[in-house]
């Protein structure tokens, strides 16, 4: 959902050279057949060599930062990118056309900034307040009240708003229990509330992680100690599955992807749990890769995109990339074209999907956005899209990380 941006790098495109000269008039037909045969052989060699060059192994170094981005092919993604930081940028991923909208409310509270799609509308969380932009992001946004953020609802046209009465107070307790208690409100694409607010479980300091499955929401405990997470159904107010000692990183359908958050190099793994059947499966990341940022399932749930560091997690100076976990073939591989050098002023690289099934990649610190269509060999830089610059130097106040969404 959220995304941090950075300048990616890519290889210089190879330029084809002329292979034959014009045939003589007398031997025109014979030279034509010979030319066709030679062209076919050379083309096959070039294609094979190019494929071997652009598909790096897990330990492959990132491309030089000054290399020229490989432009996207003629296929259109049909996606709209929404970038939020000092303002709201609405960008056509195919044409690069963009327009700027001011962010609502002054920056005077929490630095949490996030965006969430709901149908054709957009929910923007800022300063512990949620704002609704109608389809097309036209007109003034509607204030939906106090919020820590929006969470996908039971349907694509609904969303949960998570908030609590501790937002504007220093001390907060739950009627003498000493536990802070939040609540969820379900809204539709028009911002209308559906039913009454639902209180979060009060047996611990639970909070929603933002991940959801068919059975409910993933909750985590806000406390120091071992990780503890559970699947909770707000409609029935029942815990339907326990996830002890895990850290959820993504979810889709009945699947929750998680890791144990411990040092694991050089052989790190990601686990998938089916919360309906209780079955688990372990996937090994490419050698030398470890989770370094966010993760997201494709709209059809068949592919998990993972932001990884090659040799260590962010922050650091090691290269970063995106790994793809194909649940149908059980294959895990690095996505060529997503490798980038990381610096101390860089943020974690993040991958996110559009509703049309395209994968987009960016990271905090640079202007480029990468795009990948399933079936293609590599990710490519969107040639007409430029993200606004981000200043990391004082005295400018930093309202958290930028956030980026594809609709």
Contact 160, 172 (CB under 8 A): no
The Cα-based distances of 109 to 40, 146, 241 in angstroms read: 64, 12, 35
Each residue's pLDDT expressed in tens, for the chain with a length of 407 residues: 333 333 333 333 333 233 233 333 333 333 333 333 333 333 333 333 333 333 333 333 333 333 334 444 457 899 999 998 888 999 999 999 999 998 886 655 555 788 999 988 999 998 888 999 998 888 899 999 999 889 999 999 999 999 876 544 444 544 444 445 689 999 999 999 999 999 998 887 888 999 999 999 999 887 655 667 899 999 999 999 888 777 889 999 999 999 876 678 888 999 999 999 989 999 999 999 988 878 999 999 999 999 998 876 655 667 889 999 999 999 999 999 998 876 555 566 789 999 999 999 987 767 889 999 999 999 999 999 998 877 655 544 455 667 889 98
Name the 3-class secondary structure at 135.
helix
The domain segmentation of the chain, as residue ranges, is 63-406
Distance CA 283, CA 50 (A): 29
Ramachandran category for residue 148: left, alpha or beta (phi over 0 → left; psi -120 to 50 → alpha): alpha
Comparing CA positions, the residue from 360, 361, 351, 359 lying closest to residue 375 is 359
Considering the segment(s) 63-406 as one domain, its CATH architecture is 7 Propeller (2.130)
* Global confidence as pTM: 0.76
Task: Give one DSSP letter per residue of 6-71, joined into a string.
Answer: -----PPPPPP----PPPPSTTHHHHHHHHHHHHHHHHHHHHHHHHHHHS--TTPPPPPTTSPPPB
């Amino acid at each position: 959902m959220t995304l941090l941006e950075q300048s990616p790098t890519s290889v210089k495109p190879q330029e084809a050279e002329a292979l034959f000269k014009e045939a003589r008039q007398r031997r025109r037909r014979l030279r034509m057949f010979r030319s066709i045969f030679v062209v076919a052989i050379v083309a096959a060699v070039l294609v094979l060599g190019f494929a071997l060059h652009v598909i790096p192994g897990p330990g492959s170094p990132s491309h030089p930062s000054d290399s020229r981005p490989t432009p996207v092919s003629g296929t259109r993604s049909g996606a709209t990118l929404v970038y939020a930081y000092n303002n709201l940028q609405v960008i056509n991923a195919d044409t690069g056309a963009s327009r700027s909208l001011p962010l609502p409310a002054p920056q005077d509270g929490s630095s949490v900034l996030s965006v969430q799609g709901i149908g054709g509308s957009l929910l923007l969380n800022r300063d512990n307040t949620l704002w609704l932009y109608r389809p097309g992001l036209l007109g003034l946004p509607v204030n939906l009240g106090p919020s820590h953020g929006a969470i996908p609802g039971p349907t694509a046209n609904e969303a949960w708003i998570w908030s609590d009465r501790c937002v504007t107070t220093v001390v907060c307790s739950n009627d003498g229990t000493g536990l802070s208690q939040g609540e969820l409100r379900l809204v539709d694409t028009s911002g209308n509330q559906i039913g009454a607010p639902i209180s979060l479980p009060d047996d611990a300091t639970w909070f929603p992680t933002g991940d959801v499955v068919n059975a409910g929401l993933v909750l985590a405990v806000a406390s120091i100690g071992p990780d503890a997470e559970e699947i909770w159904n707000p409609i029935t107010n029942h815990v339907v599955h326990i996830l002890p000692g895990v850290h959820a990183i993504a979810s889709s359908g009945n699947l929750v992807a998680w890791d144990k958050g411990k040092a694991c190099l050089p052989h790190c793994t990601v686990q998938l749990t089916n919360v309906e059947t209780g079955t688990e499966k372990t996937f090994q990341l490419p050698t030398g890769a470890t989770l370094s940022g966010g993760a997201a399932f494709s709209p059809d749930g068949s592919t998990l995109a993972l932001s990884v560091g090659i040799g260590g997690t962010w922050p650091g100076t090691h290269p970063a990339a995106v790994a793809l976990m194909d649940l149908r073939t059980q294959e895990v591989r690095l996505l060529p074209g997503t490798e980038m050098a990381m610096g101390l002023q860089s943020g974690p690289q993040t991958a996110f999907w559009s509703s049309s099934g395209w994968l987009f990649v960016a990271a905090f610190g640079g202007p480029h956005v990468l795009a990948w269509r399933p079936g293609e060999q590599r990710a490519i830089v969107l040639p007409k899209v430029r993200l606004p610059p981000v200043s990391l130097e004082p005295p400018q106040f930093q309202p958290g990380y930028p956030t980026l969404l594809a609709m």
